[in-house]
Structure 1
Amino acid sequence: MSADAVPAHLEKLRGRVAELVARRAADDPTAADPLRGLYVTPEAAHRLATAPSPVPGAPPQDDGHGPGDPLADLAERFGLSPLDLRILLAALAPDVDRRFEPLYGYLNDDVGRRRATVALALDLAGTGPHDASARARFHPRAPLRAGGLVVVEDEERPLPGRALRVPERVVSQLLGDDAVDPELTSHQVELVPAGAAEPAHPLAVRIAALATAAPLLVHLRERREGTAAGPVVDALSAAGLPVLCHRPAPRAGDDATAAVTALVREARLRRAALVVGPLPSEPGALVRSLATGDVPVVFFGSEAYDPGWAPDAGLLALEAPHDGVDPARAWHTELARHFPAYAPDFDLGEAVAPYRLSEPQIRRAARDAAGLAAFDGTAPTAAHLQLSARLQSAPLLDKHARRIRPEVGFDDLVLPGEPLGLLHELTLRARHRDKVLGEWRLRTGGGRGRGVIALFAGDSGTGKTLSAEVVAGELGLDLYVVDLSAVVDKYIGETEKNLERIFVEADRTDAVLLFDEADAVFGKRSEVKSSHDRYANLESAYLLQRLEAFDGIAVLTTNLRANIDDAFTRRLDLVVDFPFPDVEQRLMLWRTCLAGTPCAPDLEDEIALCAKEFELAGGAIRSAAVTAAYLAAGHGGPLSGADVRAGALREYRKMGRLAPGTSLPWQ
């Protein structure tokens, strides 16, 4: 594109301006006006119009626009007629050559109006406001205005007297500056240049192939935000199309129309595709505005497509597949960009398997992991990867649940072999669910998700919540404990709404969801004897359906397994029973809890005796150990057997039980 073409066209325009000035000056009655300093005299206007051009090279001899001419390129992209081009050139002139300002002030009979008016632009084009077809070029839906190339100002004036302005982005484009419109920076628009990425998603590659052949309008429904939109951006870029990614505001503001006009203009100027989403709550106006017919647009979001958004747009509605790229391969590729010849000393696939990230999220997480590793002076470790991956998950669950950062592992558990083995199996299922349920197609139909759901059943204090924290820590995820007091509502239907918010956010977040005392909401359905029973059963039916569609990892805990509805049990992947600890396990629990405390020489014998005499669960033993530690800290010595026994007696009294060796008051 030639940068000298526009000044050359303007020099030709200046010749037409000179002719118009000469005609006006021939019968100018103000030539001898003593106040002519307030306006441009005919002589000054004639001199400005006929002065030699400072632009090197001869001006064009006609209005033709040859190859490499930015005006010709603009006419092709926006569907402009020859008259449109002459109007655009007249409006553009003061923004490129300041000598046009006083000339336009003279021709407008108003030295303060230094832009072309509608009447002046049409005069210079060889027609006038009397021509209906010429006036139609200024209609809001005409190419110049609809494309955002010309802005008609002074709406309160009659059409002939309204001023014309060319946006600075259009001026810059015509002069050879290809920078993104600054107006779009405040509207979350990102440019991905052509050839910036390699495609890997079959659906995305197909969309890109269709978009390069002809303008395409697609709505892509995602199960998880960004899982399909990112690959589409990569595929469009790899196919040779620049991509403008736009994230609309949740609610349209006053400047939404101007932003859409600027976005479409930028896409046409660059011959780019648009990827827009997630869509706002009422996207109809946005979809209709972007359905121009000459710009490829891909909308995405979690909501299903509504034909009422744009009934005549010919929009193609697609369901994004659940399967994406191989996470381990994508992570390794991105990490190798920062650490050439990267060879991890851990199982990369196992470390990143619990995270359901899109390619753009993996790209950002790998960059962050590389930064953390560089800060520590090492190659990226599993901890670096898992921390950066957790930061990519939406933190919105904090509004509905209490987050726990796991600080325990399997070494902190004291359990028999069977429940311990089931906990290991739970982590195995969480890591390999995409392979088993997706690649191997062992997921049944009916809209079932890929969630992993387990029930932990056992008496209070037997380690159910601690085990959920261990599972989350082993997977490198956060644990979110659902506060049932904030979920259950006395008003009909409100409990389901609260649970739906939690499930939706859990589907978007890589975390382990814990429903403590789950029998409060997952209890058995009852025989319908009143309206209350009917609505309680509706709540249970909703939960049954929602669990089947759940894609995350959830753990339900209960002290009363018999209270859980059998229909819920059938939908569970694992049921782990936590037995009450026997003497040997209680001894191990005492040792584990007191491992970090200074101990007196006789402590081991007293611990063994307490483990035999006091039938305490793991949670109670931990509380007794804490009490004993406080007693030791109070007297300033090491932890003694007397401190341990005092802590155990304290727990027995809290539970209302008689301590060994004591009798009832009346005995």
Structure 2
Amino acid sequence: MSGTAVIESASGALIGRLAGLRERVAELVERRSADDPTAADPLRGLYVTPDAARRLATRPPSEGTGEASPGETYVPGAYVDGPEGHGSGPWDPSDRAVALAERFGLSGLDMHVLLAALAPDVDRSFEPLYGYLNDDVGRRRATVSLALDLAGTGPYEPTARARFHPSAPLLSGGLLVVEDEDRPLPGRALRVPERVVAHLLGDDGLDPELTGGDVELLEARQRSAGRTGSEARTGARAFARRLAVLASERPLAVHLRERRPGTAAGPVADGLRRAGLPVLRYRPDGDRGDGAGLAGALLREARLRRAAVVVGPLPDRPDALVRSLARGDVPVVFFGSEPYDPGWAPDSGLFALDAPDDGAAAGEVWSTELGSVDGRFDLTEAVAPYRLGAAQIRRAARAATALAAFDGTPLTAAHIQHSARQQSAPLLDRHARRVRPAVGFDGLVLPPEPLALLHELVQRARHREKVLGEWRLRTGGGRGRGVVALFAGESGTGKTLSAEVVAGELGLDLYVVELSAVVDKYIGETEKNLERIFSEADRTDAVLLFDEADAVFGKRSEVKSSHDRYANLESAYLLQRLEAFDGIAVLTTNLRANIDDAFTRRLDLVVDFPFPDAGQRTALWRSCLAASPCADDLDLDGCADEFELSGGAIRSAAVTAGYLAAGRGGPVTGADVRAGARREYRKMGRLVPDASPLWD
């Protein structure tokens, strides 16, 4: 049935019900005006005449019970068995009120009250009628007393009065608002939220209370006939499918703890939609409080649509939000990186699960979103370092396609990696200095062995999800899936540069931890600072560099004072934290002997950077001066033999030579190179081979 036909059918059914209500209103008006001396007074309702006062004073208390139609005497409990209440006539299957009563557990009396309350919102001709019946022309909505009178009962009946309790279906479901709190219950006005009126008229638009950007409606998909092979093999998808099937069979409330933010919501929402359930995706916004205020509207919308609710990431204090949503009659899935706390909703059926990793399905999502890359690059290799959820991958793929269109070029690995980095949490900037890699392996001058180990480090970072996840080669003891390497060697031998090269090869940013912002003289503060860094690194696709790592990863010592004791506690914390680390970290040190053996055992790779020999020094000189204008007779071999400099010192000497040549307005000469090399010797306090002036 088309949307227009649905609206016409639903609105027609509601208008038919209002016609029946109008007949009851007319009967009630007729009976009341028959013995009312002020019925013809044009100012009736604005003041009370003496005759009206005497009439009200002499009316017996039970008079209200006789206002039902003949043969329609109210019987307690007659409205609680179903929506087919008294006087309502046959129910049209297209009437949305039937489904509303079923979903919210409404009795027949509830439906009569709801119909009386919403009548002025659909047909304004009810307003003057209600003003007359309320004896107040300014009160044009149904009151509790009037609604119950129209149903054939009154507020004197305890069963009827209980339908307005906050825990009763009408109020707890958000279908009815009882206003005028300062008035006694019989005189309080009733209002039906516009979303409920619109739903009964056939409008399926999202509740205006939920259209603040933090609630998204995801329509249900067609139920799939069976599982594909990839879905059956993928742990995350199989988990989401089981959860969705359970939610479609009965309401549930579950908390999923994610290893990385945002990775659980996508598969779970997709599974629920494939099971035939629409999904209301709610992202609590700090600007709108903890979200508990929206819970009522969110649950009402979920019941109206027979939808599931997916909520997360949870705010810092989720107690009120979880208690409001975990009521058991709507499927609700909470997710977040923090562990589940039973105190959030102790009286609900909420249970907790660990969300499985989605790494196995990531490659399929990338391929689906980007399609064929026509062999321009290896898509699997380009995206392997990124641990993104399905929703993050879709956003990254769209951004990469748009970036390629902006550049006017075909899609490249650089476009994909740039967009993928944007999806990773950038909060490490608070604790570390970010370096955008600008050097590749072709800029490294190293012996074959350390170069091969650097390539192995790259491969470990790319294939850890397969080896440690799919192949289950991870050891026990709560060990994470991180990759940790130690770069050891003298200052200037290329340790930091190699870390930058590794990050660039993986398409990741390099974050250099500033030890001055980590080490604190107060007991326990250093561990807290390191925990913040490790926690963010676990959630960020980046390479973490601890330069001069022996300052925090040093050897434990014999306890001779309280300082030794707390220093050992700090080392013990780091040992445990490295075990559970999920990111990529590189430690550098000039003094490998100072690193605790227990740290060394937990490292995946140890790369020794030797001091360069004469041939490597020549290659370093050529690499540093590759883009500079050089004299034809420049003798770099002789300079490399004469000056024993590390790679970092050669780079500084080449910069000095460049400034000398630029100041002279000519190419770099042998004299410029030797002047730069002598400058580095003097900085190191070494004897200068040539005693000639610096500026020769």
State the AA in 2 paired with 1:111: V
Q: CA deviation at 1:197?
A: 9.8
Give the Cα separation in 2 of the matches to 1:21 and 1:143.
29
Residue from 98, 101, 126 that aligns with 1:100: 126
Residue from 579, 587, 594 that aligns with 2:610: 579
Partner of 2:652: 623
Equivalent residues of 2:104, 2:173 under 8 A apart: yes
Q: CA deviation at 1:252?
A: 7.8
Q: CA deviation at 1:656?
A: 1.7
Partner of 1:470: 501
Partner of 1:655: 684
State the AA in 1 paired with 2:574: L
Q: CA deviation at 1:535?
A: 1.0
Give the Cα separation in 2 of the matches to 1:127 and 1:37.
23
Partner of 2:579: 548
Change (3 A) 1:209 1:35: closer
Partner of 1:44: none
Partner of 2:674: 645
Give the Cα separation in 1 of the matches to 2:640 and 2:153.
104
Equivalent residues of 2:450, 2:607 under 8 A apart: yes
Q: CA deviation at 1:345?
A: 2.5
Structure 1 residue 8 and structure 2 residue 16: aligned? Answer: yes
Structure 1 residue 633 and structure 2 residue 662: aligned? Answer: yes
Task: String of CA shifts for 1:212-241, please: whole Å, max 9, x gaps.
Answer: 111122221211122223211111111111
Alignment of 1:607-618 (within 5 A): 607-618=636-647
Query: Which stretch of the first structure deviates more once superposed, 382-391 or 463-472?
Result: 382-391
State the AA in 2 paired with 1:247: R
Task: String of CA shifts for 1:283-322, please: whole Å, max 9, x gaps.
Answer: 2332222122221111112222222222332223212223
Residue from 384, 401, 410 that aligns with 1:370: 401
Q: CA deviation at 1:610?
A: 2.1
Task: String of CA shifts for 1:121-166, please: whole Å, max 9, x gaps.
Answer: 1111111111111111111111001000011111122111211111
Equivalent residues of 1:594, 1:625 under 8 A apart: yes
- What is the percent sequence identity of the aligned residues? 76
Is the partner of 1:492 in helix, strand or coil?
Answer: coil
Is the partner of 1:313 in helix, strand or coil?
Answer: coil
Q: CA deviation at 1:342?
A: 5.0
Partner of 1:505: 536
Equivalent residues of 1:251, 1:280 under 8 A apart: no
Change (3 A) 1:593 1:264: same
Partner of 1:245: 281
Q: CA deviation at 1:655?
A: 1.6
Alignment of 1:347-358 (within 5 A): 347-358=378-389
- How many equivalent pairs are there? 637
Change (3 A) 1:278 1:538: same
Change (3 A) 1:306 1:17: same
Partner of 2:83: none
Equivalent residues of 1:228, 1:320 under 8 A apart: yes
Is the partner of 1:326 in helix, strand or coil?
Answer: helix
Give the Cα separation in 1 of the matches to 2:582 and 2:493.
28
Structure 1 residue 333 and structure 2 residue 368: aligned? Answer: yes
Q: CA deviation at 1:426?
A: 0.4
Query: Which stretch of the first structure deviates more once superposed, 139-148 or 593-602?
Result: 593-602
Equivalent residues of 2:360, 2:470 under 8 A apart: no
Give the Cα separation in 2 of the matches to 1:66 and 1:174.
13
Residue from 103, 106, 111 that aligns with 2:137: 111
Structure 1 residue 275 and structure 2 residue 310: aligned? Answer: yes
Structure 2 unaligned runs (5+)? Answer: 1-5, 48-85, 225-230
Is the partner of 1:244 in helix, strand or coil?
Answer: strand
Partner of 2:412: 381
Equivalent residues of 1:223, 1:302 under 8 A apart: yes
Give the Cα separation in 2 of the matches to 1:20 and 1:37.
17
Is the partner of 1:186 in helix, strand or coil?
Answer: coil
TM-score (norm 2): 0.88
Task: String of CA shifts for 1:387-422, please: whole Å, max 9, x gaps.
Answer: 111111011111111111111100111111111111
Q: CA RMSD in A?
A: 2.1
Residue from 178, 195, 202 that aligns with 1:176: 202
Structure 1 residue 208 and structure 2 residue 244: aligned? Answer: yes
Equivalent residues of 1:250, 1:279 under 8 A apart: no
Residue from 212, 215, 222 that aligns with 1:186: 212
Task: String of CA shifts for 1:481-524, please: whole Å, max 9, x gaps.
Answer: 11111011111111111111111111111000001111111000
Partner of 2:593: 562
Equivalent residues of 1:251, 1:281 under 8 A apart: no
Task: String of CA shifts for 1:578-602, please: whole Å, max 9, x gaps.
Answer: 1111111111111111111112222
Give the Cα separation in 2 of the matches to 1:434 and 1:346.
21
Partner of 1:131: 157
Change (3 A) 1:408 1:10: same
Change (3 A) 1:491 1:560: same
